[in-house]
Amino acid sequence: MKNDYVIRIGGAAGDGVQSSGILLSKTFTRHGLHVFGYNYYQDLIRGGNSWYQIRVSDKKVKNQGDGLDILIALNEDSLNRHTNPEINEGGASYLRGIAIFDESIKNYEKRDFVKYIPSPLNAIASGISKNPLLKNTVALGMVVSGLNLDLDIFISAIKTVFKGKSLDENIEAAKQGFNYYKEHYEIFGSLPNGNKKKILIGGGEAVGLGAAVGGIKAYVAYPMTPASSTLHWLASHSKDLGIFIKVPEDEISAINTVIGMNYAGIRAMTGSSGGGYDLMHEGVGLAAMLEIPVVIYESQRAGPSTGLPTKTEQGDLLMIINSSHGDYPRAVIAPGDVEEAYYYTREALNLADKYQMPVFIVSDLYLSERIESVEDLNLEFKIDRGLIANENDENFLRYKYTDDGISPRAFPGMKGLMHNEDSDEHDERGDVVSDAITDPVKRKLSVEKRMKKLETLKKNLPLFKTYRLDDANIVLVQWGSTKGVVEESADILRNKGYKVGVLEIKYVFPFNTDDFIAKTSGKKIITIENNYSGQLANLIKMFTGVETLKINKYNGEAFYPSEIVNEVIKLGGD
Amino acid sequence: MVTLKDYDYHVKPDWCPGCGNFSQWTAIKGALVELGIEPHNVVIVSGIGCSSNMPEYIRAYGFHGLHGRPLPVASGIKFANSDLTVIAYGGDGDGYYEGLNHLYHTAKRNIDIKYIVSDNEVFGLTTGQASPTAPFGFVSKTTPPPEGSLEIPVNPLTLALTAGATFVARGYSGEIKHLQSLIVEAIKHKGFALIDVLSPCVTWNKIATYEYYKERVYKLKDNDLTDFEGAYKLAMQSGDKIPIGIFYKVEKPTYNDLDPVLKQGPLMKRGTEIKKEILNEFY
Ligand SMILES: Cc1ncc(C[n+]2csc(CCOP(=O)(O)OP(=O)(O)O)c2C)c(N)n1
Ligand code: SF4
Ligand SMILES: [Mg+2]
């Protein structure tokens, strides 16, 4: 029995494509099914071509999936586009299944691999009310019916999304769509029932939740896609979570404000995409110099410059690792999916406090704007504020030279610990050694003190995660958002007889050279990245001297499993 | 009782002898002592420049950050812990060039920060280039003769007034007691306060000298502090008569008073409690 379906809702911006996609996804997770949803859209408020793709299964869904089984086409263009075998949508498949669309659409090219279901979407909707978006719910009702799912569960999902008058209308539209399909068509497919309701959460929301559980008291950020979903989620919970939200005048202000907050003793975070992060570099160096913890969420989009604001890319890695002048310690973490976005964000907050350095959570549009089903999220978390001095400690030295490089912090308001934190080079006490007479001895010790923290961190970081790597002779190396699609590619290749496994780089920096060599030596190494130059590949080469084979995609869209599988075979998957 | 000794730090200023910054150093410490504020409750945040070295010489919590950025840092500190007395400090290059954007927005937010600017009309630290307050025609390394500077100087007071600052004042390094009284009033004021301090750079500025100011500076008396237009007119006065004192002072809610999360008290004093129900919206 087929247990894995790809559904697409295609239309123009303003057609409610995304909200319909999320509603259908919620209906699936309430059936206990697993879901992966991704929005394909442009930087536009109305018009254009956008679509939402949902993949549903009773097994964990790791990516948006190849193939296309059900299409809801909200306009003629979408119907023609998604049924065209020559489809040119960055790797997306064309429809081989059913197409649901309004009966008024007549002008389309007939394909024999498509079952066309022209339906009275508009007629049913306008019989209920003037709300133009109601036809979407009619169409969703048809899909729910076609997949032999439960109308009541669909209605329960509607109840959490709509309120008041539009709630009643939407319930009516759902019922009529559901019944219309049932009366006129055969069931299209049946999904095995899942065992338990799932959480449905977006990548950006997961970062926000991780930050909240990780103890932030403030989030200060200037809006920029695709980092804004975190800002929006936190803002919507500002009051109940007691988290202060501020949109300042620019990203320079954002990073400096957050540094001021962490200096004053609360946990505070900022986030942006590449262009906004560009403006923060000097501030990040300041945090490093003053040894003030700060967590920065960087969600990449296709660059350079404004690039493709609504498309994905992994083009900022080396920039982040090298951003801001001077030698200084930092940690760069790249969660691989929504669940990891939650867990690694809260962990990043502990790491920042413990090591008193900038810590990055690196995501991208593909992760920040996807939604995924998750079995459960553990909300229990031990906040570790790191080393803090005792009031009136006469021996207090803010930047004491220690074996591990970590020295105690003191917050303003604490008695007897007054000191200066300085962007000029300083000694153990915080006094400047760069002004009247530069002190080369202390300068050297202070550099070493800061850099020691990187060595300490490296020793304490977990080893790289692997997937089916044990007996593999080919290792696919990935970082960040591509985790799921690379894992599934390995599964497909295994089914084809290739011995493929995956190495997942989550703690990208500091890079664990020894572990990388231990886990890859003797194997064919292929790095898979959503960028042109192979930034992880270059990093690996820099740290290990190993030259990898490369699979790169940089047209703005995420990988589909078939693309990776084909490329691996081409690279001689023996 | 708090005394000047409490603010005495073992590192002493290395400004040029006669630099206007010394008076401000004295006046700031004097004001804090006069108000009986203990050093551990004071944060002095600065940018980069000769003047911005200030926190290195005062025994309090000091933050010597980036050129142009003291205000965002100070805002962050005040948002995090409203119990602290937060003084932002820097030069005219720092505050009116590199960081001007922040001045406007911090002022209009009425964040309870005291911003003191050492205004010497030059970039002291980088050897005397024309700053944003340098007069039209000012000759320096970067503005050679005969034209000199081709920019109309920034007027920090009218700028702050237009932005919505609730306390706007000008001091003069040649009048330490007067300057101290301005700082005392600024700290007592609940809200954002700008004090622009005319501060001779004895090394690089041969025009705006003590002699120059001595002939021109006069103290405001009996002006209506709540009269916006009157304050604006006074702030436009220049040339032969340069007023010092408080130009404008009104009471308005601060950002911390208005924000629904901040008004519940210092963030610094709150714990984290996440209820299981937070996950409900995701089911
Ligand atoms: C981003 C940045 N740009 C430039 C500089 C170099 N710089 C240091 S101080 C300064 C100007 C200082 O002038 P001002 O703020 O008026 O302070 P003053 O020395 O006159 O007190 C400049 C341009 C810097 N430190 N950082
Ligand atoms: S250069 Fe000017 S501003 Fe700098 S310390 Fe000397 S006198 Fe003061
Ligand atoms: Mg200056």
Domain ranges within chain B, ordered by starting residue:
4-282
Q: Out of A383, A414, A432, whose CB is closest to B272?
A: A383
The predicted structure's pLDDT at residue A574: 59
Determine the average pLDDT of the residues in B140-160. 97
The predicted structure's pLDDT at residue A194: 77
Q: What residues flank ion ligand 3 with Cβ within 5 A?
A: B 91-93, 120, 131
The predicted structure's pLDDT at residue A434: 83
Asked whether A250 and B101 are in contact (CB, 8 A), the reply is: yes
Q: Find the helix or strand (DSSP H, E) in which A72 lies.
A: strand A70-73
Asked whether A348 and A214 are in contact (CB, 8 A), the reply is: yes
Q: Show residues of chain B in contact with A30, CB under 8 Å.
A: 283
Q: Out of A256, A379, A422, whose CB is closest to B274?
A: A379
For A100-126, write each residue's pLDDT tens digit.
Answer: 999 999 989 999 999 999 999 999 999
Q: Show residues of chain B in contact with A268, CB under 8 Å.
A: 76, 80
State whether A266 and B268 contact (CB < 8 Å).
yes
State how far the Cα of A429 lies from the Cα of A445, in Å rounded to an integer. Answer: 13
State how far the Cα of B151 lies from the Cα of A58, in Å rounded to an integer. Answer: 69
Pocket test for ligand 1, best of B67, B115, B199 (most atoms within 8 A of CB): B67
pLDDT at A437 exceeding the cut of 90: no
Whether the CB of B19 sits within 6 Å of ligand 2: yes
Q: Which two tokens stand for residue A26?
A: 């919620």
Q: DSSP letter string over A194-237? A: PSS--EEEEHHHHHHHHHHHTT-SEEE----TTTHHHHHHHHHT
State how far the Cα of B34 lies from the Cα of B4, in Å rounded to an integer. Answer: 9
Q: Which two tokens stand for residue A86?
A: 């020559």
Whether the CB of B197 sits within 6 Å of ligand 2: no
For the sheet with B114-119, list strands across it: A420-422, B61-64, B42-46, B85-91, B114-119, B193-198, B167-172, B242-249, B217-219
Measured by CA distance, the residue closest to atom 6 of ligand 2 is: B16
Q: Show residues of chain A in contact with B55, CB under 8 Å.
A: 420
CATH numbers and ranges of domains, chain A: 4-197 (3.40.920.10), 201-374 (3.40.50.970), 387-460 (no CATH), 465-570 (3.40.50.920)
Q: Is A506 helix (H, G, I), strand (E, B) or coil?
A: coil
Whether the CB of B202 sits within 6 Å of ligand 2: yes
**Could you tell me if B263 lies within 8 Å of chain A, comparing CB atoms?**
no
pLDDT at A22 exceeding the cut of 90: yes
The predicted structure's pLDDT at residue A471: 95
- Name the pLDDT band for A19 (thresholds 50, 70, 90): very high
State whether A268 and B76 contact (CB < 8 Å).
yes
Shortest Cα–Cα distance, A121 to chain B (Å)? 28
What residues are paired with B119 via a beta bridge?
B198
Q: Is B70 helix (H, G, I), strand (E, B) or coil?
A: helix
Q: Find the helix or strand (DSSP H, E) in which A56 lies.
A: strand A47-57
pLDDT-above-70 percentage for chain A:
99
Q: Which residue of A has its CA nearest to B260?
A: A239
In 3D space, the residue among A410, A540, A553 whose CA is nearest the CA of residue A481 turns out to be A553
Q: Is A525 helix (H, G, I), strand (E, B) or coil?
A: strand
Within A92-198, strands assigned E span 98-102, 115-119
Q: DSSP letter string over A326-363? A: S----EEE---SHHHHHHHHHHHHHHHHHHTSEEEEEE
Longest dimension (CA), chain A: 89
Within A388-430, strands assigned E span 420-422
Shortest Cα–Cα distance, A252 to chain B (Å)? 8
Buried b (16+ CB within 10 A) or exposed e, A232-266: ebbbebbeebbbbbbebbbbbbbbbbbbbbbbbbb
Instruction: Please report how the helices A338-355 and A203-213 are oriented relative to each other, as an axis angle in degrees rounded to 10.
Output: 40
Instruction: Please report how the helices B70-80 and B100-109 are oriented relative to each other, as an axis angle in degrees rounded to 10.
Output: 30
SS (H, E, C) A292-323: CCEEEEEEECECCCCCECCCCCCCCHHHHHHC
Please name the amino acid found at residue A481: S
In 3D space, the residue among A493, A548, A552, A484 whose CA is nearest the CA of residue A516 turns out to be A548
Q: Show residues of chain A in contact with B282, CB under 8 Å.
A: 199-201, 205
This prediction's pTM: 0.97
State whether A199 and B80 contact (CB < 8 Å).
no
pLDDT at A331 exceeding the cut of 70: yes
Q: Which of A315-329, A448-462, B77-91, B263-277 has the lowest mean pLDDT?
A: B263-277
The predicted structure's pLDDT at residue A515: 97
Pocket test for ligand 2, best of B16, B24, B123, B197 (most atoms within 8 A of CB): B16
State whether B261 and A415 contact (CB < 8 Å).
no
State how far the Cα of A171 lies from the Cα of A158, in Å rounded to an integer. Answer: 7
Q: Which two tokens stand for residue A344?
A: 């690694």
First-to-final CA distance of chain A? 32
In 3D space, the residue among A8, A11, A275 whose CA is nearest the CA of residue A132 turns out to be A11
User: What is the interface pTM, i.e. ipTM, of the complex?
Assistant: 0.98
State how far the Cα of A28 lies from the Cα of B83, in Å rounded to an integer. Answer: 50
In 3D space, the residue among A360, A270, A365 whose CA is nearest the CA of residue A314 turns out to be A365
User: For chain A, what percentages of helix, strand and coil (3-state, to nearest 5) are there?
Assistant: 40, 20, 40
State how far the Cα of A73 lies from the Cα of A84, in Å rounded to an integer. Answer: 13
Asked whether A335 and A325 are in contact (CB, 8 A), the reply is: no
Identify from B64, B85, B105 which residue to disrupt to test chain A contact, counting A C-beta atoms within 10 A and taking the largest count.
B64
Chain B 58-117, residues with CB within 8 Å of chain A CB atoms:
59-66, 69, 72-77, 79-81, 83-84, 101-102, 104-105
How far, in Å, are A119, A180, A570, B54 from residue A125 at the CA level?
Answer: 11, 12, 50, 69
Sign of CA dihedral A300, A305, A306, A312: negative
pLDDT at A316 exceeding the cut of 90: yes
pLDDT-above-90 percentage for chain A:
93
Q: What's the CA-to-centroid distance between B131 and ligand 3, angstroms?
A: 6
Q: What are phi and psi of B88, to 5 degrees?
A: -100, 140
In angstroms and rounded to an integer, the radius of gyration of the C-alpha atoms of chain A is 26
Q: Show residues of chain A in contact with B63, CB under 8 Å.
A: 260, 263, 290, 420-421
Buried b (16+ CB within 10 A) or exposed e, A172-207: bbbbbbbebbbeebeebbebeebeebbbbbbbbbbb
CATH architecture of B4-282: 3-Layer(aba) Sandwich (3.40)
- Cβ burial of B80 (10 Å; 0-12, 13-18, 19+) is buried
Asked whether A273 and A225 are in contact (CB, 8 A), the reply is: yes
In 3D space, the residue among A528, A536, A517 whose CA is nearest the CA of residue A489 turns out to be A528
Q: Show residues of chain A in contact with B80, CB under 8 Å.
A: 217-218, 260-261, 264-266, 268
10 Å Cβ neighbour count for A106?
8
Whether the CB of B126 sits within 6 Å of ligand 2: no
In 3D space, the residue among A472, A467, A494, A489 whose CA is nearest the CA of residue A558 turns out to be A489
Determine the average pLDDT of the residues in A319-332. 98
State whether B283 and A209 contact (CB < 8 Å).
no
Q: What is the mean pLDDT of chain A?
A: 96
State whether A213 and B272 contact (CB < 8 Å).
yes
* Beta strands A268-272 and A115-119, pairing class: unpaired
Lookup result for tokens 């160096």:
A285
State whether A377 and B279 contact (CB < 8 Å).
yes
For A130-151, write each residue's pLDDT tens digit.
Answer: 999 999 999 999 999 999 999 9
Determine the average pLDDT of the residues in B254-276. 95
Q: Which two tokens stand for residue B207?
A: 């025009």
pLDDT at B112 exceeding the cut of 90: yes
pLDDT at A13 exceeding the cut of 90: no
Q: Out of A201, A266, A424, whose CB is closest to B267?
A: A266
State whether B79 and A241 contact (CB < 8 Å).
no
| Residues whose beta carbon lies within 6 Å of some atom of ligand 1 | B 48-51, 67, 90-94, 118, 120, 122-126, 131
Q: Show residues of chain B in contact with A265, CB under 8 Å.
A: 80-81, 268
State whether B73 and A377 contact (CB < 8 Å).
no
Shortest Cα–Cα distance, B200 to chain A (Å)? 21
Number of H helices, E strands in chain A: 20, 21
State whether A422 and B56 contact (CB < 8 Å).
yes
The predicted structure's pLDDT at residue A436: 67
Q: What's the CA-to-centroid distance between B52 and ligand 1, angstroms?
A: 9
Chain B 206-245, residues with CB within 8 Å of chain A CB atoms:
none
- Name the pLDDT band for A573 (thresholds 50, 70, 90): low
